[in-house]
Amino acid sequence: MSHGIELAFAQHRGLLARDQQDALLVAGAVSQSPDLRTRSVVSESRDGLCAVADGVAISPYPQRASRTVLEALCDIGPQHDDLLQDGWIGPRLIRRHVHPALCRALAGDRRTRGSACTLALLQWRAGRFSVLNVGDSRVYRIDRAGRWQQLSRDHTYFQSMVERGEIAADQYVGQLYHDLEHMLGADEAEDDFAIHWQLGDWTPDETFLICTDGLHDTLGQETLEALFRTERPLKAQAAVFLDAVLAAGAPDNVSLILGRMANTGTA
């Protein structure tokens, strides 16, 4: 019995936002839907990739930035082998392919220059995984006992202050400190953005959650963990998360992907 990867995913514009500024990448296709109700797919390939991008609302065309970044990931081919790091999408490819693609698409016009987004991706190859993020879109790993671990790093002013020991992680600060310190922007001069990247082994019964802040900011960590059940099918679990966001007023765009190993039935 071989192991594929099951992915369940959903996306919503939110109840207050006018536009869908998120983009979502699953099975080689980019979605930017105002209401993508929960779907699931099983990938039998040993290699794969899924990702979310969240357009930065204060930038000129956030919806175009998020789509452009994920389309750049879809365009990765043999010509980019020298940018991969032992076959993985790492910081080198983001800096030398994804960010330049964003700049080519949007930086040449003063109306679209500066359009920006965050990025969080999960890649898998032969039983291993890679997590990469820029900004505050997140990747969590949940073990078979239901214990959560945030694998991504929030690139916010608040998180930087916590890591420097200037404030406590549970200290209250104004909203300004939770703003993004780093993001992907359509500006060739803005190339010093932070990238978090790590590798690990993907073992059976582990679940990965990739999401924009419309999920984790709206519900909060405690509620996310309380809503999760390891025995619940992935598609049903994704629906639980989306329904909870909508019930909470859905103030922001939301995109989420759940991933877990699945028996494909292939000998």
Q: Which CATH number belongs to the domain containing residue 180 in this structure?
A: 3.60.40.10
C-alpha to C-alpha distance for 253 and 71, rounded to whole angstroms: 19
- Residue 66 has what pLDDT? 98
pLDDT of residue 267: 43
What's the pLDDT score for residue 111? 98
The region that residue 41 occupies, defined by phi over 0 for left and psi between -120 and 50 for alpha, beta otherwise, is beta
Cα separation, 213 vs 55, in Å, equals 11
What global pTM score does this model have?
0.95
State how many domains the chain has.
Answer: 1
Per-residue pLDDT of the chain (267 residues; tens, 9 = 90+): 456 899 999 999 999 989 999 999 999 999 999 999 999 999 887 799 999 999 999 999 999 999 999 999 999 999 999 999 999 999 999 999 999 999 999 999 999 999 999 999 999 998 899 999 999 999 999 999 999 999 999 998 888 888 889 888 888 887 777 889 999 999 999 999 999 999 999 998 899 999 999 999 999 999 999 999 999 999 999 999 999 999 999 999 999 999 999 865 544
Distant-in-sequence, close-in-space partners of 224: CB < 8 Å, separation ≥ 6: 148, 215, 216, 241
Domain that residue 106 falls in: 3-263
